């Protein structure tokens, strides 16, 4: 379930915070593929991976590795460019936690107390792993994808068990 991720309480419990893993720290912002893999592998055994990923998405961290995914997947989950601007993608986001495809993702709306200009939040939830994150742009992309998919299916129904993001 989604909850506001505005606290860093989880950070001291992360694998990357352990003194024995201090050599990993530089890997999280490396551009070398092999180093990125090493960092991601540490994330995958981390007990606060979900909290870390949710915080990164909530706070639009668009660089580095957070919760086991790199900047490209962070931006894909949020449907934004490297400068944080909304992108209309042909391929909609996958679940950033378990990589489930878009048809597993659903969109809901929540009121934001004192939300000012934005009085509602769009929450995307994965039916596969129950991870959820807040993003208007990714929610819009998923809604558009689902509409397109329904339209496509109406015109030419897919055989059972074939699903595609493209």
Point out which residues bind ligand SF4 (CB under 6 A).
14-16, 42-43, 46, 48-49, 52, 66-68
CB of 122 to ligand SF4, least distance (A): 24
Tokens of 113: 């107390």
**Is the Cβ–Cβ distance between 27 and 62 less than 8 Å?**
no
Binding of Zn ion by 78 (CB under 5 A): no
**Is the Cβ–Cβ distance between 124 and 138 less than 8 Å?**
yes
Interface with Zn ion (CB under 5 A), residue from 8, 25, 98, 153? 98
107: burial class by Cβ within 10 Å (0-12, 13-18, 19+)? middle
CA-to-CA distance for 73 and 77, rounded, in angstroms?
Answer: 6
Binding of Zn ion by 50 (CB under 5 A): no
Using CB under 5 A, which of the segments 75-83, 120-128, 139-147, 152-160 binds Zn ion? 120-128
Tokens of 7: 């606290």
CB of 146 to ligand SF4, least distance (A): 30
Does residue 124 sit in helix, strand or coil? Answer: strand
DSSP 45: T
CB of 101 to ligand SF4, least distance (A): 23
Positions that interact with Zn ion (CB under 5 A): 95, 97-98, 100, 126, 128-129, 131
């Amino acid at each position: 379930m989604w909850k506001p991720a505005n606290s860093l309480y989880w950070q001291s419990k992360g694998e990357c915070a352990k003194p024995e893993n201090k050599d990993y720290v530089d890997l999280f912002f490396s551009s070398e593929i092999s180093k990125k893999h090493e960092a991601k592998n540490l994330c995958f055994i981390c007990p606060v991976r979900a909290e870390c990923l949710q915080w990164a998405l909530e706070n639009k961290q668009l660089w580095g590795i957070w919760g086991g995914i790199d900047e490209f997947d962070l931006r894909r989950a949020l449907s934004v460019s490297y400068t944080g601007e909304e992108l209309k993608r042909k391929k909609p986001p996958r679940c950033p936690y378990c990589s489930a495809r878009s048809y597993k993702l659903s969109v809901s709306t929540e009121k934001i107390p004192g939300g000012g200009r934005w009085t509602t939040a769009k929450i995307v939830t994965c039916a596969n792993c129950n991870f959820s994150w807040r993003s208007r742009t990714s929610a819009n992309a998923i809604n558009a994808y689902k509409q397109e998919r329904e339209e496509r299916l109406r015109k030419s129904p897919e055989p059972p068990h074939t699903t595609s993001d493209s």
